[in-house]
Amino acid sequence: MFLIFLGPPGVGKGTQCKRVVEMYGLPHVSTGDIMRAAIQDQTALGSQVKSYLDNGQLVPDQLVVDVVAERLRQEDCAEGCLLDGFPRTIAQAEALALFFQQQNKQLTGTLQLTADKDEIKRRLVERADKENRPDDTPETISERLQVYEQQTSPLVEFYEQRNTLHRVDGMGTPDEVFDRIRGVLDLL
């Protein structure tokens, strides 16, 4: 099962993805986690991407596409994985579609997690307190929300047109949201 999780920063993607990978035994491919680890480990990739993450901007498409392609070629992703935070632009989505086509693989579904704006801001502030992520400052939070609106939200229509989009209401407790996600995944 190849899944994409779409949704703005703060909608609860990270929390829900963790539960999904546990329950369905899928490798969790989070581009944000991969890049944070690269920065932490001071690799070449880390130094290339650090300023983008610090400023809440998107890393250039080609860099991210290469990182994901390399990860998807690994053995554990042969039968499926959960993509978290990728794709984030139409160009990335097109590159992913081409990759799947070349590998004779098929996207199983795209889950779009939604929540209203006030709730998203509240969750981001809460996460900033808890996790101490350097890109959770008020300035970068608002930059990342804007980047999502402009560059990532067009993916909703992209996947709608390909009949793979499933909307999931992300309001409520993590348990309530996870039950809704399970309801969708069990039908796929």
State in Å, rounded, how far the first CA of the chain is from the last one.
9
| Cβ-based nearer residue to ligand AMP, 13 or 180 | 13
Q: 88 an active-site residue?
A: yes
Is residue 144 part of the annotated active site? The answer reads yes
Is residue 19 annotated as part of the catalytic site, yes or no? no
Residue closest to ligand AMP, measured at CB: 32
Q: In the complex, which residues of this chain contact ligand AMP (CB under 6 A)?
A: 9, 31-32, 35, 52-53, 56-59, 64, 85-88, 92, 135, 144
Instruction: Single out the catalytic residue among 71, 127, 130, 182.
Output: 127
Could you give the C-alpha distances from 130 to 87, 126, 127, 133, in angstroms and in order?
Answer: 26, 6, 5, 9
Min. distance of Cβ 181 from ligand AMP in angstroms?
18
Strand order in the sheet with 81-84: 28-30, 81-84, 2-6, 109-114, 165-169
Q: Are 7 and 15 in contact (CB under 8 A)?
A: no
CB of 36 to ligand AMP, least distance (A): 7
Q: Which of 121, 133, 167, 182 is labelled catalytic? A: 133
* Least Cβ distance, residue 85 to ligand AMP (angstroms): 3
Closest contact distance (angstroms) between CB of 187 and ligand AMP is 26
Q: Please say if 36 is a catalytic residue.
A: no
Annotation marks residue 167 as catalytic: no
Between 54 and 116, name the residue whose CB sits nearer to ligand AMP.
54
Q: Exposed, middle or buried: residue 136 (CB in 10 Å: 0-12, 13-18, 19+)?
A: buried
| DSSP string covering 146-183 | HHIIIIITHHHHHHHHTT-EEEEE--S-HHHHHHHHHH
Could you list the active site residues? 13, 88, 127, 133, 144
